[in-house]
């Protein structure tokens, strides 16, 4: 360690570099060390530090679906809560893949101070052992024994059902995501249940699923539309805004009137949903808050505190726009 060329032992340097000098290092030595550090441009090697300490100062966030602009909001929230003490590193899964235990275990080798896992695979917890501080995001159905921050998407699904019912729809279609994310199951089941209670029908042939991709959603819709039309479908509920954009696009190309012939709704309330034509009725999900709360929980965990009341659930709200309501 070069820094000690300025007179003292590595122990003293370590104390100063880690801000643990007060009361344990003489003022004169501290100054000497600081000067040496500056002159040599020394940066604590976090590998060595992590090895000695047992943990790194890295928080790793595992997430699928980074292409979703919604995700950027979540990240912003995480960063805001984490501050500068911890370094946030993102581990992205391949497109359409959920974070797996296998994957995450490799990350554990980096000795993260904590783990944030977004939309994990349902079997995730059973497979991953000895995790250390970990908070799940957007992971409904993992029970109350594991720290998690969820979005109340069911509430949003109910709001959609109520809104469609109130605007006179009786037969609706459902365009699902096919990534297997649990939140999609919750969205769908909540909607189907509410729809049934409200007397709306969702014919089996009007329940399809595609990857979260505008083009693929457009294609799927183009193929399905004739049979939907025959079945009397007048509205389609999409699992994400991205799916809905596909429908908007295809509908324009095919001359299908939105919302006259077909009303369309989404989930996420992405920025583009205000811009699209017509504007997209969508369930607004508080992404920034989701990230912030999850990071706060993780910080508590890292500090060794007990968490109360799990999981935390964040409310959603329906933004009604032109895709379901004639201006």
Partner DNA sequence: CTGAAAGCGCTTACAG
Residue 129's binding partner among its own copies, DNA, none (Cβ under 5 to 8 angstroms by kind) is its own copies
Return the structure tokens found at 69: 């602009």
CA-to-CA distance for 94 and 92, rounded, in angstroms?
Answer: 7
Which residue has tokens 């297997």?
A: 180
For residues 30-49, which are near DNA according to CB under 7 A? 44-45, 47-49
Least separation in angstroms between residue 104's CB and DNA is 17
> Is residue 130 within the footprint of DNA (CB under 7 A)?
no
Task: Compare residues 44 and 289 and give the one whose CB is closer to its own copies.
Answer: 44
> Is residue 5 within the footprint of DNA (CB under 7 A)?
no
With CA atoms as reference, report the closest residue to 322 among 167, 184, 173, 155: 167
Least separation in angstroms between residue 41's CB and DNA is 12
Give the H/E segment covering residue 208: strand 207-210
Residue 38's binding partner among DNA, its own copies, none (Cβ under 5 to 8 angstroms by kind) is none
Residue 105's binding partner among its own copies, DNA, none (Cβ under 5 to 8 angstroms by kind) is its own copies
- Compute φ and ψ for 284, nearest 5 degrees: -80, 125
| Cis amide bond preceding 212, omega within 30 | no
Q: Mask 251-290, x = binds DNA (CB under 7 A)?
A: ----------------------------------------
Quick one: how many helices (H) and strands (E) in the chain?
A: 12, 12
> Is residue 28 within the footprint of DNA (CB under 7 A)?
yes
Residue 248's binding partner among DNA, its own copies, none (Cβ under 5 to 8 angstroms by kind) is its own copies
CA-to-CA distance for 314 and 318, rounded, in angstroms?
Answer: 14
CA-to-CA distance for 30 and 37, rounded, in angstroms?
Answer: 10
CA-to-CA distance for 322 and 74, rounded, in angstroms?
Answer: 27
| Cis amide bond preceding 311, omega within 30 | yes
Residue 1's binding partner among its own copies, DNA, none (Cβ under 5 to 8 angstroms by kind) is DNA
Question: CA 139 → CA 155, 186, 311, distances in Å?
Answer: 15, 10, 9
Task: Compare residues 43 and 166 and give the one whose CB is closer to its own copies.
Answer: 43
Residue 8's binding partner among DNA, its own copies, none (Cβ under 5 to 8 angstroms by kind) is DNA
CA-to-CA distance for 67 and 86, rounded, in angstroms?
Answer: 24
Least separation in angstroms between residue 191's CB and its own copies is 23
> Is residue 319 within the footprint of DNA (CB under 7 A)?
no
Binding site for its own copies (CB under 8 A): 41, 43-51, 56, 58, 60, 66-67, 69, 71-73, 75-76, 79, 87-92, 94-95, 105-111, 129, 213-215, 242, 245-246, 248-249, 252, 271-272, 274-277
Task: Compare residues 69 and 203 and give the one whose CB is closer to its own copies.
Answer: 69
Residue 106's binding partner among DNA, its own copies, none (Cβ under 5 to 8 angstroms by kind) is its own copies
> Is residue 26 within the footprint of DNA (CB under 7 A)?
yes
Binding residues for DNA, rule CB under 7 A, total 27
Residue 69's binding partner among its own copies, DNA, none (Cβ under 5 to 8 angstroms by kind) is its own copies
| Residues facing 83 on adjacent strands | none
Long-range CB contacts (< 8 A, 24+ apart) of 187-190? 187/153, 187/154, 187/156, 187/157, 187/239, 187/267, 188/157, 188/239, 190/153, 190/154, 190/155, 190/157, 190/158
Q: Which member of 5, 35, 39, 51 binds DNA (CB under 7 A)?
A: 51
> Is residue 24 within the footprint of DNA (CB under 7 A)?
yes
């Amino acid at each position: 360690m070069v820094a000690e060329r300025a007179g003292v032992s590595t122990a003293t340097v370590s104390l100063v570099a880690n801000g643990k000098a007060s009361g344990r290092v003489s003022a004169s030595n501290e100054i000497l060390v600081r000067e040496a550090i500056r002159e040599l441009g020394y940066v604590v090697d976090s590998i060595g530090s992590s090895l000695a300490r047992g943990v790194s100062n890295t928080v790793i966030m595992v997430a699928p679906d980074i292409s979703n602009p919604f995700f950027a909001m979540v990240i912003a929230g995480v960063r805001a809560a984490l501050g500068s003490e911890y370094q946030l590193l993102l581990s992205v899964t391949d497109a359409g893949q959920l974070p797996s235990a296998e994957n995450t275990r490799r990350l554990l080798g980096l000795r993260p101070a904590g783990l944030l896992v977004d939309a994990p695979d349902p079997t995730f917890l059973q497979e991953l052992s000895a995790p250390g501080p970990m908070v799940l995001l957007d992971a409904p159905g993992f029970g109350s024994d594991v720290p998690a921050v969820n979005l109340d998407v069911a509430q949003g699904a109910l709001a959609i059902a109520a809104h469609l019912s109130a605007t006179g729809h009786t037969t609706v279609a459902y365009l699902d995501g096919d990534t297997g994310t649990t939140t999609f199951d919750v969205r769908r089941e909540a909607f189907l249940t509410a729809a049934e209670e409200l007397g709306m029908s969702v014919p089996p042939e009007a329940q399809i699923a595609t990857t979260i991709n505008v083009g693929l959603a457009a294609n799927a819709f183009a193929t399905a539309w004739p049979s939907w039309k025959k079945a009397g479908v007048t509205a389609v509920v999409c699992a994400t805004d991205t799916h809905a954009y596909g429908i908007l696009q295809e509908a324009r190309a095919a001359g299908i009137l939105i919302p006259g012939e077909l009303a369309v709704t989404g989930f996420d309330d992405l920025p583009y949903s205000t811009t699209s034509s017509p504007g997209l009725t969508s369930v607004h999900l508080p992404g920034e808050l989701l990230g912030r709360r999850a990071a706060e929980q993780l910080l508590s965990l890292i500090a060794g505190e007990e968490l109360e009341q799990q999981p935390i659930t964040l409310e959603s709200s329906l933004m009604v726009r032109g895709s379901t309501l004639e201006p």
